[in-house]
Amino acid sequence: MQLFHSITPLQQTLAEHRRHGRRIAVVPTMGGLHAGHIALVDAARQHADIVVATIFVNPLQFSANEDLTRYPRTLDADRQKLEEAGCDLLFAPDVATLYPDGLKGLTHVHVPTVSEGLCGARRPGHFDGVSTVVSLIFHLILPDVAFFGEKDFQQLAVIRKMVRDLHFNIEIVGVPTVRNDDGLALSSRNDYLSHAESEMASLLYRTLQDLKIRLEEGALPDEAIRECLETLTAHGFKPDYLELRRTSDLGEVTQRTHDAILLVAAYLGTTRLIDNIRVALPVHA
Ligand code: PAF
């Protein structure tokens, strides 16, 4: 695997691959790689001749009180995992390479509607930071196809809309969430959990599974969701939100919505966990 920290040699290498007609995939990450990221690389290898992973802890998507400084930075270990997964190129720029004029006054990409509510409401500016850096990565790498995890379902919806609205000629592939044996969705932030918190964390997914069953059996969403929030709170979680949305665009569910998704964000200690599960709602005549 070739490692690049700067833009020009990366682009020269990619241009050479493109000249040979090779299909290029990108897997954007912030490092701290786990089996969920490797599943993205595996999927990318199925779809393309050349797989480029990026590792960049993007300051634009963290607000002042968030975990930018403590976010895991494990380049050597990440590099080895990518190498073993058969990744071809790794682009790991520093902040000055991607944002040479600094962050102040930087052009932003804002994707309305799907970025509002849920994590967008709790983390103001977060999705502008994500869509800005992802569009930058797309412009630099010019991939044919890009891979993102479904755990960050709202992020995936934001990127899909951005790609449609701005006519990026890039296929976006969502890859199913990878979980521990106990159901906890893998996340670089799981490293922050204490031993006791790790044992409790899987309750988040179990709660989603129970709620899914109840909703598919016809339970009233507001009431069932309120009860689940109470359960999570009783077990030490501080829920940010637990909401049922339309899968296609994260809009409000109506009586006619069948394909829905439950999305949750909750703190356990100082760690913010997110997860989601699809729900096939009974459709009322
Ligand atoms: O999901 C992530 O790791 C990040 O939000 C992304 C897409 C790499 C942008 O920084």
What is the tens place of the pLDDT at every residue in 58-86? 999 999 989 999 999 999 999 999 999 99
Is the pLDDT reported for residue 284 higher than 80? no
Kind of pairing between the strands at 171-175 and 145-149: parallel
Cα of 231 vs centre of ligand 1, distance in Å, is: 30
Three-class SS state of 279 = strand
> Are residue 117 and residue 255 in the same domain, yes or no?
no
Answer whether residue 166 is part of any domain: yes
CATH code, domain with 55: 3.40.50.620
Q: What is the CATH number of the domain that holds 239?
A: 3.30.1300.10
CA dist., res. 166 & res. 184, Å (int): 35
Q: Which pairing describes strands 50-55 and 89-91: parallel, antiparallel, or unpaired? A: parallel
* Residues 42 and 70 placed together within one structural domain of the fold: yes
Residue nearest to atom 1 of ligand 1 (CA): 29
Where would I find the H helices in the chain? 7-19, 35-47, 75-85, 95-98, 118-122, 126-141, 153-165, 195-201, 203-216, 221-234
**Other beta carbons less than 10 A from residue 49's beta carbon:** 14
Same-domain check for residues 54 and 157: yes
- How crowded is the C-beta side of 111, counted as CA atoms within 13 Å? 28
- Whether 54 and 137 have beta carbons less than 8 Å apart is answered as yes
Cα 130 to averaged position of ligand 1 atoms, centre (Å): 6
Cβ atoms of 215 and 244 within 8 Å: the answer is yes
- Return the pLDDT at 28: 99
Residues 163 and 28 in one domain: yes
Q: Is residue 183 included in any domain, yes or no?
A: no
CB-based contact 55:16 (threshold 8 Å): no
pLDDT over 70, % of the chain:
100
Q: Are residues 68 and 148 in the same domain?
A: yes
Report the catalytic residues.
37
Examine residue 158 and state whether it is found in any structural domain, yes or no: yes
What are the pocket residues of ligand 1 if the criterion is a CB atom closer than 6 Å to any ligand atom?
28-30, 58, 61, 130, 133-134, 152, 155
Domains identified in the chain, total number? 2
Residue 74 lies in a domain: yes
Residue 115 has what pLDDT? Answer: 97
Whether residue 162 is found in the same domain as residue 67: yes
Query: Does any domain span residue 44?
Result: yes
Domain span including residue 256: 188-279
**Do 152 and 30 sit in the same domain of this protein?**
yes
Cα 55 to ligand 1 centroid, rounded to whole Å: 9
User: 237, exposed or middle or buried, with CB in 10 Å at 0-12, 13-18, 19+?
Assistant: buried
Indicate if the pLDDT at residue 205 is higher than 70.
yes
Ligand 1: which of 130, 131, 150, 187 to mutate, most ligand atoms within 8 Å of CB? 130
Which residue's CA is the nearest one to ligand 1's atom 3?
29
Q: Is residue 285 very low, low, confident or very high in pLDDT (cuts 50, 70, 90)? A: low
pLDDT digit string (tens) for 166-195?
A: 999 999 999 999 999 999 999 999 999 999
Predicted model pTM: 0.97
As given in the structure block, the two tokens for residue 82 are 């990518």
Q: Taking a C-beta distance cutoff of 8 angstroms, is the pair 143, 52 a contact?
A: yes
> pLDDT (tens digit, 9 = 90+) per residue, 110-150?
999 999 999 999 999 999 999 999 999 999 999 999 999 99
Distance, CA of 274 to CA of 192 (rounded, Å): 14
- Same domain (yes/no): 137, 260: no
Residues 9 and 144 in one domain: yes
